[in-house]
Amino acid sequence: MTPAEKTLRSQRLNQITHEPHSKLDALVKAHAPFETRANFARFVVAQYLFQSELVDLYNDAELGAIVADLPARCRAEAAKADLADLHTEIPAPVAGALKNPSKARALGWIFVSEGSKLGAAFLIKRAVALELSETFGARHLAEPQGGRAEGWKRFVKTLDALPFSAEEEAEIEQGAIDAFNRFTVLLEQAYASEAEPA
């Protein structure tokens, strides 16, 4: 096999997360997040919890040396502002957050968080029906500066160029799978906790 025929790391990550992504997509939709603002607020709770668990990674010096604009990609603050817009309390942390992952494992999580910005292009369009936007209530789904596709392409290019050992290759894959599992847990938790009347 010539190097050109080798499957890129990002393509492999796409393949192994295809099934968890489909399941999560279906689960998000099952909770009808665009039916009411209250439903949408629960979705934002899940997004906030997920993003806030990743704040340390987005601001990690070693990871930041790999992905130049990493801190600017973090959406925890945007999700927090959305919660305020939606008169929704900041949720307490949920046990089981990621702790001190290896570099490769951390990048698996960030791959999922960054990839979720692609689906967000569809979600923000639907949020408009609830009179929400990138400046009110749906800030965390906003198009990143410099463009969604461009930001993703830059991230993936960087990721694909990293020289990884076989062990690291396994770690990044595990990280991506774990991130999907974690989002699923947080989403279930968010909809299980009854919305406080605003």
- Cβ proximity to ligand HEM, 86 vs 112, nearer residue: 112
Measuring CA to CA, which residue among 143, 144, 141, 114 is closest to residue 127?
141
Q: Any contact of residue 39 with ligand HEM (CB under 6 A)? A: no
Q: Which residues pair with 7 in a beta bridge?
A: none
**Of residues 64 and 119, the one with the C-beta less far from ligand HEM:** 119
Structure tokens at 117: 């910005």
21 is an interface residue for ligand HEM by CB under 6 A: yes
Q: Among residues 9, 28, 78, 82, which is the contact residue for ligand HEM, using CB under 6 A?
A: 28
Hey, what are 18's tokens?
């295809």
Residue of the chain from 101, 115, 151, 175 that contacts ligand HEM (CB under 6 A): 115
Interacting positions 126-185 with ligand HEM (CB under 6 A) = 183
Q: Which residue from 123, 127, 132, 141 is in contact with ligand HEM, where contact means CB under 6 A?
A: 123
Quick check: 32 binds ligand HEM (CB under 6 A)?
no
> In the set 6, 15, 25, 32, which binds ligand HEM (CB under 6 A)?
25
Q: How many residues bind ligand HEM (CB under 6 A)?
A: 14
d(C-alpha 18, C-alpha 12), whole Å: 10
Amino acid at residue number 3: P
Question: Hey, is 152 helix, strand or coil?
Answer: helix
Burial class (CB in 10 A: 0-12, 13-18, 19+), 13: buried
Query: Does the CA dihedral 53-107-159-26 come out positive or negative?
Result: negative
Q: Which chain residues interact with ligand HEM by CB under 6 A?
A: 14, 17, 21, 24-25, 28, 112, 115-116, 118-119, 122-123, 183
